Structure 1
C-alpha cells in the first residue's frame, strides 16, 4: 500500500513529467508509478524527506545509525539499484584508510606542488589533489582492502528485495590510476544504501550494521538490529569529524548548515553524461542522531552542494517538529536490554 498523501503527483514540466523524453532514466520520488512501499516507514521522516527533495530527480535515505533501521527510502528504485559513481564521497573511506595505515596524521600536511594541506581542509573543501596523492601513497591494494571493509562492493542491507551490491573494481582505472579512484571514485558504483551504512558506522562509533527496511508495522515491532561487523575506527573518527563538520560550516556543504551540528561529505561528478550530486551526513549531537543521504541524478542541476542543501532541509523540517527531542523506540539506551544479533 502506498500512502498517496505524501507521494505527490508530478507537475507539468517537472523532471518526472519530462523524463521520458530526456537522457535520464531514473524517475523522481514524485513518479506515482514508482510504487514506493512506505507501510513500515517513519512517516514524519518520510514527509520531511519528500518535501525537501521536492521535484528534484533523485533519492533520499534516512536511517537510525544506532540500529541500522531505514526510516525512509524515497524513490526506492534508485536507492536499491545498481548504483552510481560515488564522486568525492569516496574521500571519507580513503581518509579512514590513510589514518589507519598511518600514512597521514590529523595534523599532517601533505606537500601538494607548491603548497601543503592538512586533512581537515582537504575534506572540508573536497580537494582532489590531496586525495589523489594520498591514494597513490597508499596504493591500490590497501585502498581496495579498506573499501571492501567499509562495505563497497557488497549489499548494505539485509534481505531487502531488489537491492544491488554496487561494484568495486579489481584494478585501478587505466586512465589516472589509483588517484582517480581515490579522488573521484572512478570505476566504483556506490548505492545510496552503501553510503548510508558507512555514515551510520561513523556516527555510532564504528559498528557497521546491516541496514534493515521494515515493510510493515509488524516488522517494525519485531525489529532486531543486526551487526555486520565492527570497524576498528573509533580512534580515527575524531580525526575526520573536523573536516566533515567543516564541510558544512565553511566548505562544500555549507548549504546544509543548520542550528545543530551536521557532519557530511559532498560529491559532484558526471557518469555516462549524467550529472550526479551526493551528500552523506549525520547530525552530530546527542543520542537522537540520524543519517541522511541524498543522491541527485541529472534532470536538473545535480551537484553535491545542492544535495547538501536538501539534506539540511530534512534536518530543519524534523527539528521544527521537535523530532530530535522526542524519544524513539530504538536508542543506544534501549539497546542495552535489546537483542542484538551479529552475522
Structure 2
C-alpha cells in the first residue's frame, strides 16, 4: 500500500517537473519568436525609413534641380530681357533712324539725254548701279568729256555733304603747303601716330581734323575753291546746280574746321565737282571743265576746255599711294571682289543728314590704255555707304572688262586729244 502511494506521488512529481521544465523553453521560444518579429518589423521600418529617405532625397534632388532649372531659366530670361533692353538702349543711343530708301522705286534713267554718251560705258554703269538709288558719272580725265551720266537729275542737283571724300582736297592742301609729306607721322594723341597713306587708306577722321586745324580755315577754303569746290564743274551743261563751300567755318562747338576737313560738314559737293577733282589727280594736274555732248555732232566737234592748271603734279604720287591703299586693303577693298585686272585709286565717303545716308566713291582705273574716272554717289538708308559704292564700282570696271572696253583702246603717246577713247 505504501509502495503504491509512493509510485503515485513520484509520477505526479515527474509530470510537474516536466511541466516546470517545458515552460522556460516555451517562453524562450516565444521570446525568440517575438524578438524575430520585432527585428523583422524593425528591419522593415528601417528599410521603409531608408526608402522614404532615399525617395525624399530623390524628390529633393529633383525638386532642387527643377528649382535650379527654373531659377536658371528665370535668370536667363532676366538676362535676356536685360540684353534686349540694353540692345534697345544701344540702338536708341547709337543708331540713326533712316527715312530714305536705298532702292529706287522708278526708272532712274528716265529723262536722261544719252545720244552723245559712250553706249558701252553707259550700259556698264546702269548694270552696276542696279536698283540702288544713286547716280554714276564716268569721265575721260584726259579731256573732261563725260562718257556717261546715269540719273542725270541727281548728278546735276545741288549736291550733298562730301563726307570723307573731302579728305582728298585736305590732303592735297597739306602737301602743297608743306605741312606734311606722305611719310610724316602725325601725332594723334599719346604715342599714336599715323602717316598720310594709312590715313587715306582707312579714312581716319582724327588725322584730317588735325591737318585741318594746322592749315586753318582760310587755307583750307582757298585750296578747296582752287580744286573746283563751290563753283560749277561743267561747261554749258543744262540743269547743273552749284555746290556750296561756306565762307565761314563751323563754330567750334560743332567741330570747327576740323570737322569740315574730316566729314565735309557744312559743305555741299556735286558728283561733277568731285569727278573734276579726281580727273585732275588722274591726269597730272589739269582741271578741265566737264562737257556732256548730247548729239553726234557735238561728239565730232568736241574740244577740251581747261579751267585751270593746278600745281599738284609733284605731290600727286603721295596722294595716289593712299588712294591705292584704300582699294587694296582699306575702306574700298570691296571693289577687289569683282575687279583686279588694273590698279584702281579711290576714296570712299559715308555720312548722313536728316534721315538720309550718303555713300560716295570716286576713283580711276589706271590701265595701259588710259584712265577712266568714275564717281558713284548713293543716297538712302542703312544699306547705303561708301564701301557699297566701291563695290558697285568694281562691278562697273568688271562690266567694261568683260565687254573688252579697255582692250579696244590703243596706247597713245601724244598729248591728250578730243577722241572718244581713253588717252594717257
TM-score range, shorter chain: 0.7 to 0.9
What is the match of residue 6 of structure 1? none
Q: Decide whether the 8 Å contact of 2:351 with 2:385 is kept in 1.
A: yes
Aligned partner of residue 125 in structure 2, secondary structure? helix
What's the CA shift for 1:332?
6.5
Q: Which residue of 2 aligns with 1:335?
A: 416
2:216 aligns with one of 128, 134, 139: 139
- Secondary structure, counterpart of 1:81 in structure 2: coil
Q: Map of 1:1-343 to 2, 5 A cutoff?
A: 23-24=99-100, 28=104, 31=107, 34-114=110-190, 115-174=192-251, 175-257=254-336, 258-259=339-340, 260-299=342-381, 301-327=383-409, 333=414, 335=416
Secondary structure of the corresponding residue to residue 193 of structure 2? strand
Q: What SS class does the counterpart of residue 244 from structure 2 fall into?
A: coil
Match of 1:16 in 2: none
Post-superposition offset of 1:331: 6.2
Residue 256 of structure 1: CA displacement? 1.4
Unaligned runs of 5+ in 1: 1-21, 339-343
Does the 8 A contact of 2:302 with 2:418 survive in 1? no
Once the two structures are TM-superposed, the CA of residue 26 in structure 1 deviates from its matched residue by: 9.9
**Deviation at residue 107 of structure 1 after TM alignment:** 0.8
Q: Is the 1:66–1:332 Cα contact (8 Å) retained in structure 2?
A: no
Cα distance in 2 for residues equivalent to 1:33 and 1:44: 15
CA distance in 2, matches of 1:270, 1:334: 41
How far off its partner does 1:34 sit?
3.3
SS of the aligned residue for 2:293 comes to coil
CA change 1:53–1:98 in 2 (3 A) is same
Query: In 1, Cα distance between the equivalents of 2:304 and 2:134?
Result: 28
Separation of aligned partners in 2, 1:237 and 1:215: 32
Is the contact between residue 281 and residue 293 of structure 1 (CA under 8 Å) also seen in structure 2? yes
CA-to-aligned-CA distance 1:105-161 (integer Å, 9 cap, x gap): 111010001200000000000000000000000000000000000000000000000
Question: Does the 8 A contact of 2:332 with 2:390 survive in 1?
Answer: yes
- TM-score of the superposed pair, with normalisation by structure 1: 0.88
Q: Is the 8 A contact 1:26 1:78 kept in 2?
A: no
Shift of 1:28: 4.3
Helix, strand or coil at the partner of 2:197: helix
1:171 is displaced (CA, Å) by 0.9
Would the alpha carbon gap of residues 270 and 299 (structure 1) be closer, same or farther in structure 2, given more than 3 Å must change? closer
How far is 1:325 from its partner?
1.6
- How far apart are the structure 2 equivalents of 1:81 and 1:228? 21
2:138/2:149 contact within 8 Å kept: yes
Q: CA deviation at 1:248?
A: 0.2
Q: Is residue 276–residue 302 contact of structure 1 (8 Å, CA) maintained in 2?
A: yes
Is contact 2:355-2:381 (8 Å) kept?
A: no
Tell me, yes or no, if the aligned pair for 1:83 and 1:192 is still in contact at 8 Å: yes
Residues 1:32 and 1:293: Cα distance change in structure 2 (over 3 Å): closer
Distance 1:102 1:332, change over 3 A: same
TM-score normalized with structure 2 length: 0.71
Unaligned runs of 5+ in 2: 1-97, 420-424
- Aligned length in residues: 316
Task: Calculate the aligned-residue CA RMSD, in Å.
Answer: 2.0
Residues of 2 paired with 1:32 and 1:255: CA distance? 24
Residues 1:229 and 1:25: Cα distance change in structure 2 (over 3 Å) = farther
Q: How far 1:104 sits from its partner (Å)?
A: 0.6
Q: Could you tell me how far 1:170 is from its partner in structure 2?
A: 0.7
Distance, in Å, in 1 between the alignment partners of 2:333 and 2:153 is: 29
